[in-house]
């Protein structure tokens, strides 16, 4: 411990530092350039299409992609490679805004595509580019209850009874949950003749009956179907039928007296498609969704097809739309789900 | 056992402690592990192997291995350098530096992903520049590598610092008096002393790198067969209600823990290392 | 102090450490803080003192501290047994320790929920005696204990393995019993590693997201953790708010880490 030695190593300090810096920088640049290779090789080709979508559409698009690829190959002689990415709708929109190079987006709400449009990746009037507000299929919100409906849940009014547990994902993080929230709101407005205090009271009581607020629609499904939590699950209609298929004999679907018309929209992300040279392919892909073949697939996966030739077996019920009831998605988002919106207020006053 | 009786406990105490430790490990670790395997095999071996042979699963495995193969050596190099700097020398800001090394542990994986988006996303600091040269960092392999490196950053350093601290610098100092150079001291004196800690550190770093979920999830883009790592693939399968397939892929990651132990034992065997005191 | 500089490599090792740390950690975090600074001082404070954020912060830090404490105590026990005793199944036990690292946190969350949910293996028994494990703060605590456990064991293991028994023998020849020897000789020597283990488990628990969101129930004011709030803000496209909460979280975490490291330094300087 007490040796005192002079070594000649100290002057090396600065030159070593420079040496290290000159090693570290090329490593980072090398990393970046290997990223370049991977894009030009894989997503840059004109026959690869990236469809960024939301959670419950996995099974549907898996079949659509196959059917479309077959048709395109028949007409053009080469088979396109369609890649899928799924996740929460808001999260997916955020990824596209931050640089995920989607050629087409097929999301849960128009509001999410609006956010992408705000970044200039597609024109603000994207919804007019395809028929039916660019929503090739629709869906709605229904109740899923335990087999035999032991708590006798029939309509929205039953959800606020004492001892009823309602499962819904968090509207802040899940697109589907926003539809749930708006459907409940629309019913309450009708029920209480638009009395705002009563509507808020109803929503507050409904939220108090929610024991678990999952971050996504599929996580909420698991909580309800697999963990056995809750009496009623507010769900996408197509998910409700999927649950019956995945967990046979355990659940039942209840149609409330009124619900909301959910229009999940699709759009070409024009800036990305132009960059990849896939504009024609992307356009054809989305137009394909309106063909009889794709509409039949939509019906098969329990969406409500637009094409009247495809009579869906799903029961009719009174449906309100976001545009007529809530003044469009931008307005609904601001009033209800943004910071300090009705959801925050009602949860905060509890 | 060669060590004397005075440095161990009575048989009763030993049995009691072993039982207690066994109980803790069973409750907290063995039970979840068993649950994973039981869920994975619920639908039989056929579904199990099919899940692993699936093309998307294979590409996820490949991506996970690639990301770990780049980020773990980077962090190992850093860990050794950092441990050397903070344990062999006393300098101003040393405590601050040690805290900074720990910092990534305290950074939520969510934030660890977010920061790269803030830097390299198309609205980020370098977004425009990257777009101009058509360079891709997030939503591609480099993003996954740097997010993984961020999360596993402190592992090797954190393993080595307490170890080298407790060993002191006497041996290195003695080597200097004998005229040995820096690299020679490092390889001949320090490495043999720290090799077990170093190995633990690398193994931990690797296990964590392959299992990382949150941060990678933010920067991956979830493109099936392309930017999904194994943990992300597990989530995808789970969300498709393919529970057995999801857990089958999860068993791969659970087996990783067992494989790393195998490697550790093999190295111990070949180098003839015998733990202290027996 | 200066005589410690006889060992070469100061410039190289410190230079590399600082550069790598800056590129990979500091610059990205600086980007985060700059983003947070965009809302101004008042906006920053207002967002952080929001009642819901405070409730989440209390839960996050409280549950993390409790979980790290439990991890430390059980971790010390398991490490001691692993290093000092030979028994059947020791290797298996050793292998199990890394499991929480290797298991993706989402899988851990799903699995733990399956075990502790009211219809789960253990949850069913707990439910019968009126304890709600999953979907409560207790569930968060359990998940965080699981996550933090290996940090404690793997930090202490190498130190205990390298710990020579000479001092213990000396203590024994001086007539000290095993318990006294452990308390007076072994424990103080293990203290730095023990504190490091606690700190790592604690720090890791604060940021944990993947496993907690499955088991917690995510109810605002009750079982909502800070990282979930950050994700919520992100999905609302409110990046500045996310950055503000993240920066607040980082400042507290960093202050805690710094204090614990100071404590450790002080312990290291105590005469052995």
Q: Are B77 and B198 in contact (CB under 8 A)?
A: no
Element (H, E) at C155: helix C137-161
Judge: C231–A4 Cβ closer than 8 Å, yes or no.
no
pLDDT at A5: 33
Instruction: Note the pLDDT of residue A6.
Output: 33
> What is the pLDDT at residue C269?
65
pLDDT of residue B275: 42
Residue A221, in any domain of the structure:
yes
Asked if residue A202 is part of any domain, the answer here is yes
The arithmetic mean of pLDDT across residues C100-110, rounded, is 81
- Tell whether B29 is within 8 A of chain C (Cβ): yes
| CB-based contact C168 B6, cutoff 8 Å | yes
Please report the pLDDT score of residue A256 as a whole number: 96
Tokens standing for residue B27: 């409750």
Judgement on whether residues A127 and A252 belong to the same structural domain of the protein: no
Question: Does any domain span residue A105?
Answer: yes
Q: What DSSP assignment string belongs to A101-162?
A: --SEEE-S-HHHHHHHHHTTSS-TTGGGSSTGGG-SEEB-EEEEEETT-TT---SGGGGGST
* Count of structural domains, chain A: 2
pTM of the shown model: 0.83
**In 3D, which of B274, B275, B233 has the Cα closest to residue B250?**
B233
Of C32, C86, C105, the CB nearest to B111: C32
A150 & A171 share domain: yes
Distance from CA of C42 to the nearest CA of B (A): 23
Domain range for A162 is 141-261+317-348
A76 domain residue, yes or no:
yes
Q: Would you call A5 an interface residue with chain B, using a CB distance cutoff of 8 Å?
A: yes
A232 forms beta bridges with: A145, A166
Q: Are C64 and C144 in contact (CB under 8 A)?
A: yes
Residue among C116, C248, C250, C257 nearest C200 (CA): C257
Query: Is the separation of the CB atoms in C220 and B123 below 8 Å?
Result: no
User: In the predicted model, what is the mean pLDDT of residues B6-30?
Assistant: 86
If asked whether residues A190 and A121 sit together in one domain, one would say no
Per-residue model confidence (pLDDT) at position A7: 33
Containing C159, the helix (H) or strand (E) segment is: helix C137-161
User: Are A200 and A338 within one domain?
Assistant: yes
Report whether A122 contacts A87 (CB < 8 A): no
Q: Give the range of the structural domain holding residue C238, as residue numbers without chain letter.
A: 40-269
Tokens of A80: 């396109």
Q: How far is CA A261 from CA A176, A301, C10, C256, in A?
A: 12, 17, 68, 50
Chain C hits for B31, CB-CB cut-off 8 Å, are 115, 121-122
CA angle B40, B42, B46 (to 5 degrees): 75
Structural tokens at position C238 = 């409110």
> What CA–CA distance (Å, rounded) separates A221 from A303?
18
CB contact under 8 A, B223 and A83: yes
Residue C94 lies in a domain: yes
Does one domain contain both A204 and A344? yes
Kindly report the nearest CA distance between residue A86 and chain C, in angstroms.
15
Q: What is the pLDDT of residue A44?
A: 38
Is C107 in the A-facing interface, judged by CB distances under 8 Å?
no
Candidates A155, A151, A146, A57; CA nearest to A104 is A57
Looking at CA atoms only, how far is residue C224 from chain A in angstroms? 9
Read off the pLDDT band of C51 (50, 70, 90). Answer: confident
The H-assigned helical ranges of B153-228 are 155-167, 170-177, 182-185, 191-211, 214-220
> What residues contact residue B233 under an 8 Å CB cut-off, 6+ apart?
B56, B57, B60, B249
Cross-strand pairs, C176: none
Helix (H) or strand (E) holding C193: helix C187-207
Q: Decide if B163 and C158 are in contact by the 8 Å CB cutoff.
A: yes
Is B115–C112 a contact, with Cβ atoms under 8 angstroms apart?
no
Residue A239: name the closest of A216, A256, A257, A258 by CA: A216
Mean pLDDT of B47-56: 90
3-state helix, strand, coil in chain B (%, to 5): 80, 0, 20
Query: For position C156, which CATH number holds?
Result: 1.10.3720.10
Residue C194, chain B, CB below 8 Å: the answer is no
Domain count along chain C: 1
In a domain? residue C171: yes
* Model pLDDT for residues C71-98, shown as the tens digit of each residue: 999 999 999 999 989 888 888 888 788 7
Q: Is the pLDDT of residue C243 over 70?
A: yes
- Is residue A37 included in any domain, yes or no? no
Report how far apart, in Å, the C-alpha atoms of B14 and of each of A42, B18, C77, C82, C90 are.
60, 6, 11, 11, 13
Question: What pLDDT does B169 receive?
Answer: 84
- On whether residue A34 sits in a domain, the answer given is no
List, for residues B221-270, the tens digit of each pLDDT value: 888 888 999 989 988 888 888 888 989 998 888 887 667 767 766 766 66
> How many angstroms separate the CA atoms of C143 and C136, rounded?
11
Q: Which parts of chain A register pLDDT below 50?
A: 1-26, 29, 32-45, 350
Return the SS3 of C175: coil
Task: Say if B133 is an interface residue toward chain A (CB within 8 Å).
Answer: yes
Judge whether C165 is closer than 8 Å to chain A, CB to CB. no
Q: Are residues A269 and A253 in the same domain?
A: no
What Rg do the C-alpha atoms of chain A give, in angstroms? 25
Kindly give, in sequence order, each residue whose CB lies less than 8 Å from that of residue B11, ignoring residues fewer than 6 positions away: none
B13 touches C at CB < 8 Å: yes
A215 vs C218: CB contact, 8 Å cut-off?
yes
Cβ–Cβ contact A172 with C under 8 A: yes
pLDDT band at C64, cuts 50/70/90? Answer: very high
Reported as a single tens digit per residue, the pLDDT across B85-102 is 999 888 888 888 988 888
Contact A235, A144 (CB under 8 A): yes
Interface check for C4 against chain A (CB to CB < 8 A): the answer is no
- Does some domain include residue C28? no
Q: 3-state secondary structure string, C27-73?
A: HHHHHHHHHHHCCHHHHHHHHHCCHHHHHHHHHHHHHHHHHHHHHHH
Residue C268 has pLDDT above 80, yes or no: no
Residue position matching structure tokens 């072994």? C186
Mutation target vs A (from B122, B139, B145, B182; most A CBs, 10 A cutoff): B139
Model confidence at B147, in pLDDT bands (50, 70, 90)? very high
Confidence of residue B62 (pLDDT cuts 50, 70, 90): very high
Is B86 contained in some domain?
yes
* Residue given tokens 């499991």 in the structure block: C99
Reading the block at residue A13, the tokens are: 């300090």
- Residues from chain C that touch A228, judged by Cβ atoms under 8 A, are 117-119
CB atoms C113 and A338 under 8 Å: no
B137 and B96 both lie in a single domain: yes
Domain harbouring A150, CATH code? 3.40.190.10
Q: What is the CATH number of the domain that holds B69?
A: 1.10.3720.10
Residues B211 and B84 in one domain: yes
Alpha carbon of residue C139 to chain centroid: 17
Q: Measured between CB atoms, does B239 come within 8 Å of chain C?
A: no
Is the predicted pLDDT of residue B272 greater than 70, yes or no? no
Please check whether residue B277 lies inside any domain of the structure: no
Element (H, E) at A82: strand A81-85
Residue C7 lies in a domain: no
> Is A97 within the bounds of a domain?
yes
Mapping DSSP to helix (H, G, I), strand (E, B) and coil, where does residue A89 land? helix
In A, minimum Cα distance to B116 occurs at A98
Chain C from 14 to 53: CB within 8 A of any B CB? 14, 16-18, 20-21, 24-29, 31-32, 35
Alpha-carbon span C152 to C74, nearest angstrom: 9
More confident residue, A186 or B127: A186
Q: Could you tell me if residue B278 is inside a domain?
A: no
| Neighbouring subunits of B (3+ Cβ pairs under 8 A) | A, C
Q: Which of A35, A84, A216 minimises the CB distance to B137? A: A35
Within-domain flag for C170 = yes
CB contact under 8 Å between B136 and A98, yes or no, is: no
Residue A88 vs residues A61, A227, B206, C238: alpha-carbon distances, Å:
16, 21, 29, 16
Are A118 and A167 found together in one domain? no
- Is A97 in contact with B142 (Cβ distance < 8 A)? no
> What residue numbers bound the domain in which B36 lies?
1-40
CB contact under 8 A, A90 and C10: no
The answer to the question of residue B153 being in a domain is: yes
Distance, in Å, from the CA atom of C64 to the CA atom of C69, rounded to the nearest integer, reads 8
- Give the pLDDT mean for B37-56: 90
| Mean pLDDT in residue range C246-264 | 84
**Residue C101's closest CA among C228, C211, C21?**
C211
Flag whether A3 is in a domain: no
- From chain A, pick out residues whose CB is under 8 angstroms from the CB of C11: 9-10, 12-14, 16-17
Number of domains comprising chain B: 2
For residue A317, give the nearest of A266, A249, A265, A253 by alpha carbon: A253
Q: Is residue B276 in some structural domain?
A: no
Phi, psi of B222 (to 5 degrees): 55, 35
How far apart CA B96 and CA B60 sit, in angstroms, is: 38
How far A115 CA sits from the closest chain B CA (Å)? 13
Q: Are B216 and B256 in the same domain?
A: yes
For C58, half-sphere exposure in the C-beta direction (CA atoms, 13 angstrom radius) is 11
Quick one: pLDDT at residue A193? 93
What is the complex's ipTM, to 2 decimals? 0.83
3-state secondary structure of B42: coil
Q: Does A170 touch chain C (CB under 8 A)?
A: yes
Choose among B10, B78, B207: nearest Cβ to C102.
B207
| CB-closest option in B140, B177, B225 to A35 | B140
Distance from CA of C45 to the nearest CA of A (A): 16
Q: Which contiguous run of DSSP H or E holds residue A253?
A: strand A251-254
Express the helix, strand and coil content of chain C in percent, nearest 5 each.
Answer: 80, 0, 20
pLDDT at A12: 34
Neighbours of C70 (CB within 10 A): 20
Please tell me the distance from the alpha carbon of residue C269 to that of residue C246, in angstroms, as a whole number.
34
**Among C89, C98, C272, which would you mutate to test the B interface (most chain B Cβ atoms within 10 Å of its Cβ)?**
C98
The Cα of B224 is separated from the nearest Cα of chain A by a number of Å equal to 6
CA distance B236 to chain A (A): 8
Of B7, B207, B238, the CB nearest to C101: B207
Same domain? B30 vs B117: no
């Amino acid at each position: 411990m007490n040796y005192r030695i002079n070594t000649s190593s100290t002057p090396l300090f600065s030159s070593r530092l420079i040496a290290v810096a000159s090693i570290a920088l090329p490593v980072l640049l090398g990393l970046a350039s290997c990223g370049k290779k991977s894009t030009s090789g894989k997503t840059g080709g004109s026959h690869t299409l990236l469809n960024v979508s939301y959670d419950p559409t996995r099974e549907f698009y898996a079949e659509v992609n196959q059917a479309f690829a077959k048709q395109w190959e028949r007409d053009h002689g080469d088979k396109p490679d369609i890649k899928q990415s799924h996740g929460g709708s808001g999260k997916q929109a955020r990824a596209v805004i931050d640089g995920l190079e989607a050629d087409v987006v097929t999301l849960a709400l128009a509001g999410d595509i609006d956010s992408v449009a705000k970044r200039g990746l597609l024109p603000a009037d994207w919804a007019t580019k395809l028929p039916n507000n660019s929503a090739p299929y629709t869906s709605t919100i229904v109740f899923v209850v335990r087999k035999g409906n032991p708590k006798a849940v029939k309509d929205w009014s039953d959800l606020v009874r004492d001892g009823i547990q309602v499962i819904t994902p968090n509207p802040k993080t899940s697109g589907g949950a926003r539809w749930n929230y708006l459907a409940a709101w629309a019913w309450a407005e009708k029920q209480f003749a638009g009395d705002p205090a009563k509507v808020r009271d109803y929503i507050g009581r409904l939220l108090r009956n929610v024991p678990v607020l999952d971050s996504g629609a599929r996580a909420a499904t698991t909580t309800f179907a697999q963990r056995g939590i809750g009496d009623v699950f507010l769900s996408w209609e197509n998910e409700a039928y999927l649950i019956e298929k995945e967990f046979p004999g355990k659940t039942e679907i209840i149609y409330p007296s009124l619900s909301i018309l959910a229009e999940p929209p699709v759009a070409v992300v024009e800036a990305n498609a132009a960059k990849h040279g896939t504009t024609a392919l992307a356009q054809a892909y989305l137009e394909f969704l309106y063909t009889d073949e794709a509409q039949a697939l939509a019906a098969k996966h329990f969406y409500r097809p637009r094409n009247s030739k495809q009579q869906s077996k799903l029961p009719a019920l009174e449906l309100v739309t976001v545009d007529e009831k809530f003044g469009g998605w931008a307005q609904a988002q601001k009033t209800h789900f943004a910071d300090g919106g009705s959801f925050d207020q009602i949860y905060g006053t509890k | 056992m060669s060590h004397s009786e005075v440095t161990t406990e009575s048989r009763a105490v030993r049995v009691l402690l072993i039982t207690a430790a066994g109980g803790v490990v069973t409750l907290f670790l063995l039970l979840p592990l068993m649950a994973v395997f039981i869920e994975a095999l619920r639908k039989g071996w056929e579904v199990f192997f099919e899940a692993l042979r699936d093309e998307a699963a294979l590409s996820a495995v490949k991506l996970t291995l690639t990301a770990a193969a780049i980020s773990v050596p980077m962090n190992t190099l850093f860990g050794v350098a950092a441990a050397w700097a903070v344990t062999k020398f006393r300098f101003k800001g040393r405590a601050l530096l040690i805290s900074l090394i720990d910092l990534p542990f305290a950074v939520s994986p969510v934030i660890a992903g977010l920061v790269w988006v803030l830097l390299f996303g198309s609205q980020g600091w370098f977004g425009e520049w990257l777009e101009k040269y058509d360079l891709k960092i997030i939503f591609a392999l480099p993003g996954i590598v740097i997010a993984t490196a961020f999360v596993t950053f402190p592992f090797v350093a954190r393993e080595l610092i307490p170890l080298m601290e407790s060993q002191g610098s006497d041996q290195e100092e003695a080597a200097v008096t004998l005229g040995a150079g820096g690299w020679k001291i490092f390889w001949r004196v320090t490495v043999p002393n720290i090799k077990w800690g170093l190995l633990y550190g690398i193994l931990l770093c690797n296990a964590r790198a392959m299992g990382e979920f949150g941060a990678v999830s933010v920067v991956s883009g979830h493109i099936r067969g392309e930017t999904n790592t194994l943990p992300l693939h597990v989530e995808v399968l789970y969300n498709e209600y393919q529970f057995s397939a999801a857990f089958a892929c999860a068993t791969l990651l659970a087996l990783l823990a067992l494989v790393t132990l195998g490697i550790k034992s093999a190295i111990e065997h070949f180098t003839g290392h015998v733990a202290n005191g027996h | 102090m200066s005589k410690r500089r006889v060992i070469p490599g100061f410039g190289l090792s410190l230079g590399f450490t600082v550069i790598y740390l800056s590129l990979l950690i500091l610059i990205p975090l600086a980007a985060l803080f700059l983003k947070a600074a965009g809302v101004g001082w008042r906006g920053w404070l207002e967002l952080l003192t929001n009642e819901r954020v405070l409730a989440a912060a209390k839960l996050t830090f409280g549950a993390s501290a409790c979980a790290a404490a439990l991890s430390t105590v059980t971790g010390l026990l398991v490490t001691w047994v692993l290093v000092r005793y030979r028994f059947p199944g020791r290797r298996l036990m050793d292998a199990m320790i890394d499991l929480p690292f290797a298991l993706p946190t989402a899988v851990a969350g799903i699995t733990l929920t399956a075990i502790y949910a009211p219809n789960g293996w253990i949850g069913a028994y707990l439910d019968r005696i009126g304890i709600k494990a999953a979907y409560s703060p207790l569930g968060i605590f359990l998940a965080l204990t699981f996550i933090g456990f290996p940090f404690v064991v793997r930090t202490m293991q190498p130190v205990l393995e390298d710990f020579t028994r000479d001092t213990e023998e000396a203590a024994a020849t001086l007539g000290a019993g095993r318990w006294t020897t452990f308390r007076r000789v072994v424990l103080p020597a293990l203290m730095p590693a023990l504190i490091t283990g606690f700190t790592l488990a604690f720090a890791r628990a604060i940021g944990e997201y993947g496993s907690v969101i499955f088991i917690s129930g995510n109810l605002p004011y009750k079982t909502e953790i800070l990282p979930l709030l950050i994700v919520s803000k992100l999905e609302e496209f409110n990046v500045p708010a996310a950055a503000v909460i993240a920066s607040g979280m980082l400042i507290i975490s960093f202050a805690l880490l710094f204090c614990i490291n100071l404590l450790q330094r002080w312990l290291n300087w105590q005469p052995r």
